A and B are shown apart, each in its own frame.
Chain A
Amino acid sequence: NAGVTQTPKFRVLKTGQSMTLLCAQDMNHEYMYWYRQDPGMGLRLIHYSVGEGTTAKGEVPDGYNVSRLKKQNFLLGLESAAPSQTSVYFCASSYSNRVGDEQYFGPGTRLTVT
């Protein structure tokens, strides 16, 4: 049982390049989330999904797109990377959004945009 995994762990992009971050979970969770973590700003929600085939915007969605074609996978895309997107990206999942359900986090992807 691997939990939540993220690919890749590190990536360096040049401004304007595109990339996709992959998140996979093997816990049969309905809900999945993408966060970014920046120093002094905590975690901010980018996009989330409440089930296969659904996506929704979070707090900071601009510049990102997501897809949830399979229940176990949640992809985060950057179409044209900008230096402001340099951050650590975390994926998380949860069984539901019931008040007591905790989220399970992946190990993170450190992205640098030059």
Chain B
Amino acid sequence: AQSVAQPEDQVNVAEGNPLTVKCTYSVSGNPYLFWYVQYPNRGLQFLLKYITGDNLVKGSYGFEAEFNKSQTSFHLKKPSALVSDSALYFCAVRDIGGSQGNLIFGKGTKLSVKP
């Protein structure tokens, strides 16, 4: 069965520093991976996805993610964090072969960016 893991419950970063939010996946077949962000008291917003092609995927708000097949990882990155990036981040994988191809979400990582 497909699954994703977000090993860190919380990531703390100083404003202006680079940030990384980690995600690892387990799939049978090709992985189709997504990142979503949830700001306080809001719904989830799509950030970026990896389907095929370049291992470095660029998304909204200056975020990018690096797909690494050998390490089965899809880490979210940003070169310079902003206080406004503070939010809850979810990694998700497409459940190919089961449940109509629905998304399976990780437990989420809370990102806190301090001034």
Interface residues of A, Cβ cutoff 8 Å to B: 4, 33, 40-45, 48, 50, 56, 58, 90, 92, 97-100, 102-108
Chosen A-B contacts, 14 in total, with CB atoms closer than 8 Å, are A41-B107, A48-B100, A50-B100, A58-B102, A90-B44, A92-B43, A97-B101, A98-B101, A100-B32, A102-B49, A103-B44, A105-B36, A105-B43, A108-B41
Beta-carbon contact of B9 and A103 below 8 Å = no
| Complex: chain B residue closest to A50, CB-CB | B100
A90-B43 in contact given A40-B9, A42-B107 (Cβ < 8 Å): yes
Beta-carbon contact of B42 and A107 below 8 Å = yes
For this complex, into which size category does the number of interface residues on chain B fall? 20 to 34
- B51 beta carbon closer than 8 Å to chain A: yes
Interface residues of B, Cβ cutoff 8 Å to A: 9, 32, 34, 36, 41-46, 49, 51, 90, 94, 96, 99-103, 105-108
Name the B residues within 8 Å of A104 (CB-CB): 46
Distance to closest chain A CB from B106 (angstroms): 6
Distance to closest chain A CB from B96 (angstroms): 7
Name the A residues within 8 Å of B90 (CB-CB): 42-43
A40, A58, A99: which has the most chain B beta carbons within 10 Å?
A99
